[in-house]
Structure 1
């Protein structure tokens, strides 16, 4: 195994990782009738059979313990018209607006999302300063909308290339 360079600058590493364009999600769950949510872009499909997805949550995030406690969560894949919702759940907005949640498969969801994936916890793995939660998919919904993207510290939209 090759030795990893401990001299890699943290800021440079963050900038390199941030240059990868991702979709934007809000992870939601409910603990004792209280809804919790957080913006995340660390989400991916893992397996088709069985249907599994992964999210990565920082060890210092409140959402980490909520998912461990209730063992279920929803992934709301945001559309271009949900940028303010992303900012609210990432703590970027000082003035918080009231969010209305719908319910799908017993979990709180953002109704105007591009897509929704509900999960029960399949497994979890600690990796560095994050926990990777693998969710067994219990439901999916999809709308005809454009995805909200994030890259290089900015929100982005898709544009078709001439070709």
Structure 2
């Protein structure tokens, strides 16, 4: 199997879209990621996967903290900005939770302290213990499937009013 086939297969798994943020030396840093999962309920642990070439990897190692913002369906441009797909320089105003930068109006945000780090191929897995959570009701998620942003229209149509 070649790399393209593997990427295509992974693209068949629909995911939400997150922005991972951290702060190092009073500078906020963020990156779009869909490699996120919950790990444990007790203690409350989550995992993010960061590529070895991503600057965020060293920043999380330095700060020992990260926040995860689950993007809402109307935040595609936010995802594109933190994925480096928008090349023009833009100011971005963060919200704050537990003294950590998070994405304003995200459908959910959580803050974490790094409690574990594991090398896995060309990525580093950071296990974070959740320290705070904020949720926004009545907001649909931004979804990524087969390399494109999607909406949950089928689900919306099947929910009775």
> Which TM-score bucket, shorter chain as reference?
over 0.9
Runs of 4+ residues over 2 Å off in structure 1: none
Q: When the two structures are superposed, what TM-score results if normalisation uses the length of structure 2?
A: 0.94
Contact 1:78/1:115, CA 8 A, preserved across alignment: yes
What aligned pairs does 1:10-159 form with structure 2 within 5 A after superposition? 10-144=3-137, 145-159=139-153
Aligned length: 156
**Post-superposition CA distance 1:9-39 (Å, at most 9, x none):** 1001001101110000000000000000000
Q: When the two structures are superposed, what TM-score results if normalisation uses the length of structure 1?
A: 0.93
Mapped partners of 1:162, 1:91: distance in 2: 35
SS at match of 1:17: helix
Q: Give 1:96 shift.
A: 3.5
Bigger mean CA deviation after superposition, 152-161 or 73-82: 152-161
SS at match of 2:152: coil
Contact 1:88/1:96, CA 8 A, preserved across alignment: no
**Post-superposition CA distance 1:89-139 (Å, at most 9, x none):** 001112232210111111111121000010000101000000000000000
SS at match of 2:106: coil
Aligned pair in 2 of structure 1 residues 162, 80: CA closer, same or farther (>3 Å)?
closer
SS at match of 1:147: coil
Gaps of 5+ in 1: 1-7
